[in-house]
Structure 1
Amino acid sequence: MTHEPFAPPTGYGSPTGPAVPAAPAPVRYTYGAPLYSPPPLRSAAGLGTAAVVLACVWAAVQVLKLALAPAAADALRDAAAAGNGAYDSALTGYDLAGVLFFAVQVAAYVVTCLWLYTSRSTAVAATPGLVHERSKVWTWLGWWVPIVSLWFPYQVVRDIRRATATGPVSGIGGWWAAWLVFVTLSNTAGRMSSRTTAEATATAAEALVFVELLATVAMAVALVLWIRIVRGVSRYQAERIAIAHDERGS
């Protein structure tokens, strides 16, 4: 009898022979990585509420600056009449409001970026198929990096809104346009009190109140649209989180 060299030993796998080792279970891969459970959706509603509150406080300080702008304009006129440049010899209420304005701005920036960062993570988990044009680091850097600050934050907010909306997305373009107008006018008003010649100071005195008025109007428009955006994102993400909980419970 010819013996097959590659045949298993007699009785291998039989009730009396050694057990045949089971083949390992196949590993399923997606895009070259093992499948894993997606991270749980996290609600950013609390941060969204805080961001809205700080935005309202920021707008209130802007109204205060507008109310104090006429006194600042008078101080500029006095400085121009005396042949001086900036009115750095006297600290006005407008200047103190500017300090408060900056402090609230920093607080609003931190809380808003935390909300955007958390909301973006939730949006990615809720709608993984939607490509976000900007990475998550731009939820923080996009607001102050030169040049790109003109459109990166808009793209971040737009993609978060698109990933959580169940209907048409509107109002984001108007919010961003109003925001850019406000930032431009607010920076212009801030530079008006640092003129170095009497002529420039006199010109700033005549324009300061008008510039602050336009900045306040632009901020009010941006605030209304911003509240709509934040509330919309929070509402839609709450719905997604509720659906995910129901699916895990079923």
Structure 2
Amino acid sequence: MTQPDNPFTPPTSPPTAPPLARAAQQPPQYVHAAPYAPPPRSAAGLGVATIVLACVWTVVQVLQLATAPQAADALRAAAAAGDGALASAFTGYDAVGLLLVPVQIAAYVVACLWLSTSRATAEALDPRYVHARGRVWAWLGWWVPVVSFWFPYQVVRDVRRATTTRLIGGIGGWWAAWLVFVVVSNSAGRMNLRTTPEATAVAADALVPVQLVATAAMIVALVLWIRIVREITAWQRERIPAGGAYPS
């Protein structure tokens, strides 16, 4: 006959809590936006480099405006001389244009590094925020045809919104000024296609006004871009815990 258990005998092992009770006892964990997400980290260094290169790009653009009158005079002389002189009308304006290419590439690479890093940090700080565009568009959105007119704006906007609720106006004005600069500067670039004396004469008359509009738009975009980069960088730095660990 089996003896009843002695109620005063301590159990040999502690009772195991039900799964739900065990889960309730665990401290809340940080929810990752992806199966693996790196710890949030500050992009302050990249932010400074982004601002510096944007300023350098703007300085080069101002130099293009300064050399535009000389280039316009050279184009008028080449148009008057005929087809044979079109290719030889190389001025300081063209030299500044050659300098512009490496500056643009450097500014693009560093700015995209800053933006992609800030995007990853924003996802880590607020994994519940739904970004309108994928991570790859921080790089591709600036030059893919058609979508380049609004994808970069959405990427920057969502990084700001996922970073903080202390939003300050200016991002719409920045993007409008940037689009004006892109469209007008592309028009100035097409003026270098000196196919006929007539086309060269038209380009000579329009060069200075076009560069004036492009430079003014870029200066406005630069001022607002500096504020956006500084805001996002500072707000993320405030929210990142010491050591860059996930908050618990």
**TM-score w.r.t. structure 1 length?**
0.83
Q: Which moved more, 1:119-128 or 1:158-167?
A: 158-167
Pair 166,107 (structure 1): closer, same or farther in 2 beyond 3 Å: same
- Give the residue type in structure 2 aligned to 1:240: R
Partner of 1:208: 207
Q: Which moved more, 1:119-128 or 1:161-170?
A: 161-170
Conserved 8 A contact 2:137-2:155 = yes
Pair 69,37 (structure 1): closer, same or farther in 2 beyond 3 Å: same
CA distance in structure 1 between the partners assigned to 2:198 and 2:94 by the alignment: 21
The 5-angstrom pairing of residues 1-250 of structure 1 reads 26=19, 38=32, 39-84=38-83, 87-242=86-241
Partner of 1:5: none
Task: Output one character per residue of 1:111-156: Cα deviation in whole Å (capped at 9) or x when no partner.
Answer: 0000000000010111112110001000000000000000000000
Q: CA deviation at 1:167?
A: 1.7
Pair 243,195 (structure 1): closer, same or farther in 2 beyond 3 Å: same
Partner of 1:6: none
- Give the residue type in structure 2 aligned to 1:102: V
Q: CA RMSD in A?
A: 3.3
Q: CA deviation at 1:166?
A: 3.1
Q: CA deviation at 1:193?
A: 1.6
CA distance in structure 1 between the partners assigned to 2:115 and 2:77 by the alignment: 45
Aligned length: 237
Structure having the higher Rg: 1
Pair 154,248 (structure 1): closer, same or farther in 2 beyond 3 Å: closer
SS in 1 for 2:240: helix
Partner of 2:35: none
Q: CA deviation at 1:86?
A: 7.8
- Give the residue type in structure 2 aligned to 1:202: A
Conserved 8 A contact 1:86-1:194 = no
5+ residue gaps in structure 1? 2-8, 12-18, 30-34
Pair 10,243 (structure 1): closer, same or farther in 2 beyond 3 Å: same
Q: CA deviation at 1:200?
A: 1.3
Task: Output one character per residue of 1:6-50: Cα deviation in whole Å (capped at 9) or x when no partner.
Answer: xxx999xxxxxxx89x87984999xxxxx7775421000110000
Q: CA deviation at 1:67?
A: 0.6
CA distance in structure 2 between the partners assigned to 1:150 and 1:90 by the alignment: 34
CA distance in structure 2 between the partners assigned to 1:169 and 1:156 by the alignment: 16
Conserved 8 A contact 1:117-1:136 = yes
- Give the residue type in structure 1 aligned to 2:55: C
- Taking every aligned residue pair, what percent have the same amino acid on both sides? 64
